[in-house]
Structure 1
Amino acid sequence: MSSEGPAEPTIRSLFDSADKKRKSLDSFFDSNSDEYQDKLNAAISELEQCKDLISRASLFSMNEGLEEVATGDLRYLVVDHTLAELVLKRKSQNRKQVLDQARGSLKRFLELCEAYGLLSEADKAAAEGASSGSMSVSSLPSDPGARRQAKIVQFKREKELKNKVESLSNSTDDEDARTFHKSYLELLIVQSIQTLEMIKLEADLLSKAPPPQPTPEPEKDDRQMTRGVPEYSERLDTINNNIKGGALLSPDGKPLRPFRLVSQREMEKQRVFGPSHNLPTMSIEEYLEEERRRGGIIEGGGEKSGIRPEVDEDDYEEADKATMKARDWDEYVEANPRGWGNTLNKG
């Protein structure tokens, strides 16, 4: 029984595994889902390892021609392009960093293709304009007519390359295989230039976007401020019956006496804008008892009480006295009209 551990990953195993994950991403409906992003990051990680092994093995050299590269190794020339393609699909709060990383990978891919003589003079000019940081430099002419014509030529070339790649994809002949890889690389060159144009446009839009506003903290609910207080409850029928005035609700939920609901915020407001001292309070019964003690309330009738005793109609003597007293009062009022004695307002 062998005690050897798992085999070390190779350029081929890492490339094939990453390519399989890349193709499986097309089956997802939501590119922002955790499963999609996890598989995407796994593919990126394997491609970065594959790229590291390619560099350590010196698989490609800037000093050799394409004919010197083995047919089986031509497929690994696309690693940087595939990396850029996957990185652009990453969900990130820092979109600018994603764009910069993808731009760097595409530029390295185009530089490698140029070293192997795969870029035409038109491709070089277009790549230089697309990878430039200035929006004034474009891979297409500024004249609208010439720009439209260049777009048509670009579209036709891309379509021809796609058809050629598709027709050679299943060939087992070595010469056809080399033609397939060369045509595929030319197709990716066209697509890389287009992607660089889109990256430049998006980066320009990001630079002009206003900075993100800080998210305001939500106001704390009054109930949240008191939920940590012991014996706190939002149910009125659970309030203790020993509060002043007795219980608010009966066991079956019916109100036993009038009450008013106030929030914690309103109570704090009353304490802030109210008097700085506690005002004395007393009940009506306590007030009447205090007035009675001070002599402010006279009980039992009498002259001081201001209440005239009723005269017994059967007592003629008392009735005559009351009649005479009333008549004397009427004569006094008639002889002394109201305000007669007031000399302050007279000239």
Structure 2
Amino acid sequence: MTSVKEQYRGLVNRHEREICFSSLRQDSTEYQAGLTSVIGEFLDLKKSVQTTLALFSSNETLEDVATASLPLLALDYYLASCIARKQATQLSNSKDRAAIRQKFLHKSVQLDIQFLVSLADYEILDSLLHKKIDNFESTYSPTLQELYSQPSDSKDIKGAQMRRQQKIELHQKSTSLAAQISALEARMATEGQHDEILRDLYVDQLRDLSYRAFSEVEQNLSEIELLSNFISAPQEQIEQTDVSNVPLNEEGYTEKVEVLNRPLLSKSGKVLRTFTLVDDRSKSKNKVFGYGQYAPTMSVEEFLEKEFESGRVLEGGAEPKLEEDEDDEAWNDKQTYKAREWDAFTEANPKGSGNTLNRG
């Protein structure tokens, strides 16, 4: 009979091979069937670990947990990762598919937070992530805005900078932890699988998964927000954003993204025009790469916010130049005064009179 530890390792390998790095499209029937099978086996294993074997208890500490049982604390993480990829491919209506997808994403977020909370209970979770979870108004249903500390004033423009700084800090912690894990693996290769080294390795691997889980929570909440906008949008608006109805120019591109005749931002940062980002060329890309990821559209305001947050500041050009109106008397007077001023300047400062001694 296969042990719980062997079942877990086998499922983790399947998760990596068949779910994360599959060559199948995620919206294909074959991929979704395999995904459902893996989820079912993870659920059976979780039931066995928590109910049948009762390997973990709410009143125990990390020292009370057997070394061999530590990796099993990541079951919720792998379940969340699988459920985040579920799609209702059997539905023909796009809004119905989006609504079901939202439910899967909400469940994935709940499982990721559950994983982080369990690590916090055993004092494994990083203090920065622990503090973030404690600040959630509803622990298992956080909002996208709650993930990172925000200025007290909602109009404060430092919000994006603060989020970026916190992301950098989390990335640095994750990078440092990865180096620590590599060092422990090297020690095991030379010194053998001593329980103390193995235990430290398992704990660090759980911490590494916690950073991934937090990142996936952010991604899922972002998609949930976009799906909400898509579901609430009138059907007429959805049809208008269909790039198949957009005429092509001489170069064969649509004017949705490729042709930008005017800057997006003014010098003062004002949005000069609003449009919808639509990936027209993703259709041909999907046929080649086969990932099946159809991202919802976003407004330019959402796009710019993400650009600022990521440090890729999108700078705008000058304000649009006013068209000349020769019938406008005020405009004609202004042009006449400018011409007279220029004539007076050139008469007072003839060419070559400025640096007669050739200084400098």
Please report the TM-score for the alignment, with normalisation by the length of structure 1.
0.54
Q: CA deviation at 1:41?
A: 1.7
- 1:77 maps to 73
- Structure 1 stretch 57-66 or stretch 204-213: which is displaced more? 204-213
Q: CA deviation at 1:115?
A: 0.9
- Structure 1 stretch 140-149 or stretch 72-81: which is displaced more? 140-149
Paired residues for 1:320-335 under 5 Å: none
Tell me if 1:32 matches 2:41: no
| Alignment check: 8 A CA contact 2:24 2:31 kept | no
Aligned length: 209
- The equivalent position to 1:148 in structure 2, one of 140, 164, 183, is 164
Q: In structure 2, how many angstroms separate the alpha carbons of the residues matched to 1:42 and 1:181?
A: 27
Measured on the aligned residues, the alpha-carbon RMSD in Å equals 2.7
Give the 3 Å change call, closer, same or farther, for CA 155–131 of structure 1 in structure 2: farther
Q: Which portions of structure 1, spanning 4 or more consecutive aligned residues, are displaced by more than 4 angstroms?
A: 128-132, 211-214
The gaps in structure 2 that reach 5 residues or longer are 89-96, 152-157, 237-360
Q: CA deviation at 1:167?
A: 3.5
Paired residues for 1:134-213 under 5 Å: 134-142=143-151, 143=158, 144-169=160-185, 171=188, 172-211=193-232
Q: In structure 2, how many angstroms separate the alpha carbons of the residues matched to 1:22 and 1:84?
A: 11
Paired residues for 1:1-347 under 5 Å: 7=1, 10-25=3-18, 26-56=21-51, 57-92=53-88, 93=97, 94-127=100-133, 128-129=135-136, 132-142=141-151, 143=158, 144-169=160-185, 171=188, 172-211=193-232
Please report the TM-score for the alignment, with normalisation by the length of structure 2.
0.52
| Alignment check: 8 A CA contact 2:5 2:68 kept | no
Give the 3 Å change call, closer, same or farther, for CA 63–201 of structure 1 in structure 2: same
Give the 3 Å change call, closer, same or farther, for CA 100–10 of structure 1 in structure 2: farther
The gaps in structure 1 that reach 5 residues or longer are 1-6, 215-347
The one-letter code sitting in structure 2 at the alignment partner of 1:123 is L
Q: CA deviation at 1:100?
A: 1.7
Give the 3 Å change call, closer, same or farther, for CA 138–108 of structure 1 in structure 2: closer
Q: In structure 1, how many angstroms separate the alpha carbons of the residues matched to 2:144 and 2:28?
A: 33
The one-letter code sitting in structure 2 at the alignment partner of 1:99 is L
SS at match of 1:85: helix
Q: In structure 1, how many angstroms separate the alpha carbons of the residues matched to 2:182 and 2:29?
A: 33
Q: In structure 2, how many angstroms separate the alpha carbons of the residues matched to 1:141 and 1:12?
A: 42
Q: In structure 1, how many angstroms separate the alpha carbons of the residues matched to 2:12 and 2:126?
A: 28
Larger-gyration structure (1/2): 1
Q: CA deviation at 1:13?
A: 4.1
Identity %: 24
Give the 3 Å change call, closer, same or farther, for CA 38–167 of structure 1 in structure 2: farther
- What per-residue deviation string (whole Å, max 9, x for no partner) do you get for residues 298-329 of structure 1? xxxxxxxxxxxxxxxxxxxxxxxxxxxxxxxx
Q: In structure 2, how many angstroms separate the alpha carbons of the residues matched to 1:21 and 1:121?
A: 32
The one-letter code sitting in structure 1 at the alignment partner of 2:34 is K
Q: CA deviation at 1:59?
A: 0.6
